């Protein structure tokens, strides 16, 4: 009966917010810029760096699991499928590594840099190259299935929907090709290079262009549904959620447009160019900016919820998983930032929640010592629900050398916070 009570109590604790939004959980320093966008899978976060390495980190505490050295910068963003992580490098290769230990499964040689990010569908990995080709490669063996020659370099990343692969090219076109054989279905001409990557929703493919426009194209025949003009280049890739298209522009704005007719819902101004692509989670849209900030914006009204400053420009796009936003920065680091709760659990606090300051903790992350000051009695639990200790009101300096690495929950009064022990 006691065990049952504890389990129920812990489930209640996990249903509300552990800490304030925008808090740093951890950051990991690589050797150079992190323009690659992270991908989270099975407790790992994967990302590339301009230091030529591809990294796999523990998603909860940021410890290095393994890293793999390529022959040049890794700005391509990873994709995980069936225990394999795929990514490109500027050494001209597409790589397939085993997720658990980073050993090479295969690599495929193109003729130029692979900056495009791969997409896996139906046992085939699709990726673009600066050699002007879109490639379809067997994900299990690394053998070529087909390739299609566009008119110029491909920085855009492919998207697959209903047996069709979509990708942009610097020849100004958006392409739609049959996944089975690579035959062209249609192509749509924009007014400038297409660095942006396509997004498909409800029979429409959305993509940006350096001609200042975001386009909505009918998937069936490649005809224009609508287009929306921003104030400058659109490198950012769109994201669609609940009938709204989100994307950024070099005119400094994050846009929210009604997908049905292309009318403006709202726009939010950052301090400078937005090349990062948005990610939507639990009614919040996350995006980075060249002003060094990661922004969290309310999807419904475009109001700022919080922002977190890094040490340099953000080209990387955020990934949100289990209540944590991961993003790279040109300050060489990958960041893990707390959001309003874990995916799959209801957030019981309002958007106007203000912490009661019932306690303070330092440092966070911590190693062998943790200082907690309480205005009321408190408790510490592991993330799995194990009671670590009860704490009376007052200041406590805890020796934590015997604690395992991981996440711990501290509750005092009506407030809870999450702390992380690292080596």
Single pTM value for the model: 0.79
pLDDT for 216:
98
Task: Give yes or no for a contact between 28 and 64, defined as CB atoms under 8 angstroms apart.
Answer: yes
Ranges of the chain with pLDDT below 70: 1-19, 340-358, 383-385, 413-416, 423
Please indicate, yes or no, whether residues 367 and 333 belong to a single structural domain of this protein. Answer: no
Q: How far is residue 259 from each of residues 21, 209, 279, 304, 314, measured CA to CA in Å?
A: 29, 17, 16, 22, 27
The CATH number that applies at residue 76 is: 2.130.10.10
Please indicate, yes or no, whether residues 256 and 364 belong to a single structural domain of this protein. Answer: no
Which of these three, 338, 370, 388, is where a domain ends?
338
Please indicate, yes or no, whether residues 329 and 382 belong to a single structural domain of this protein. Answer: no
pLDDT for 340:
63
The CATH number that applies at residue 372 is: 2.60.40
Q: 270-292: per-residue pLDDT in tens?
A: 999 999 999 999 999 999 999 99
**204-208 and 184-189 beta bridge pairing:** unpaired
pLDDT for 256:
98
52 inside domain: yes
pLDDT for 106:
98
Give the structural domain span for 180: 20-338
Q: How far is residue 62 from each of residues 40, 334, 365, 418, measured CA to CA in Å?
A: 12, 9, 10, 15
Q: 295-321: per-residue pLDDT in tens?
A: 999 999 999 999 999 999 999 999 999
pLDDT for 140:
97
Alpha carbons 94 and 126: distance in angstroms, whole number:
10
């Amino acid at each position: 009966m006691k065990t049952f009570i504890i389990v129920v109590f812990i489930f209640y604790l996990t249903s509300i917010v552990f800490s304030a939004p925008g808090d740093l959980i951890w950051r990991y320093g690589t050797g150079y810029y992190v323009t690659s966008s992270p991908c989270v899978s099975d407790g790992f976060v994967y990302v590339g760096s301009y230091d030529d390495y591809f990294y796999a980190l523990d998603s909860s505490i940021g410890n290095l699991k393994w890293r793999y050295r390529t022959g040049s910068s890794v700005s391509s963003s990873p994709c995980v499928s069936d225990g394999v992580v795929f990514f490109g490098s500027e050494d001209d290769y597409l790589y397939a590594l085993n997720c658990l230990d980073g050993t090479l499964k295969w690599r495929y040689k193109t003729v130029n840099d692979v900056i495009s990010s791969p997409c896996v569908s139906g046992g085939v990995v699709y990726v673009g190259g600066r050699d002007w080709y879109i490639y379809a490669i067997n994900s299990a063996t690394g053998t070529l299935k087909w390739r299609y020659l566009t008119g110029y370099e491909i920085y855009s990343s492919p998207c697959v929907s209903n047996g069709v692969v979509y990708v942009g090219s610097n020849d100004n076109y958006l392409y739609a090709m049959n996944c089975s054989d690579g035959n062209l279905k249609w192509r749509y001409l924009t007014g400038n290079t297409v660095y942006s990557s396509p997004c498909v929703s409800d029979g429409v493919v959305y993509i940006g262009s350096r001609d200042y426009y975001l386009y909505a194209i009918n998937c069936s025949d490649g005809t224009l549904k609508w287009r929306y003009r921003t104030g400058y280049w659109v490198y950012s890739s769109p994201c669609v959620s609940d009938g709204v298209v989100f994307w950024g522009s070099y005119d400094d704005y994050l846009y929210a447009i009604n997908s049905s007719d292309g009318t403006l819902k709202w726009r939010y101004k950052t301090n400078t160019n937005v090349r990062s692509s948005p990610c939507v989670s639990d009614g919040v849209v996350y995006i980075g900016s060249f002003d060094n900030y990661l922004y969290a914006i309310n999807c419904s009204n475009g109001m700022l919820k919080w922002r977190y400053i890094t040490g340099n420009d953000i080209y990387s796009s955020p990934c949100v998983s289990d209540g944590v936003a991961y993003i790279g920065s040109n300050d060489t680091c990958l960041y893990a930032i707390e959001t309003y709760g874990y995916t799959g659990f209801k957030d019981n606090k309002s958007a106007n929640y203000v912490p009661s300051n019932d306690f303070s903790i330092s440092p966070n992350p911590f190693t062998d010592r943790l200082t907690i000051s309480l205005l009321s009695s408190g408790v510490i639990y592991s993330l799995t629900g194990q009671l670590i200790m009860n704490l009376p009101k007052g200041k406590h300096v805890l020796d934590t050398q015997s604690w395992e690495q991981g996440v711990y929950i501290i509750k005092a009064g009506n407030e809870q916070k999450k702390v992380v022990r690292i080596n």
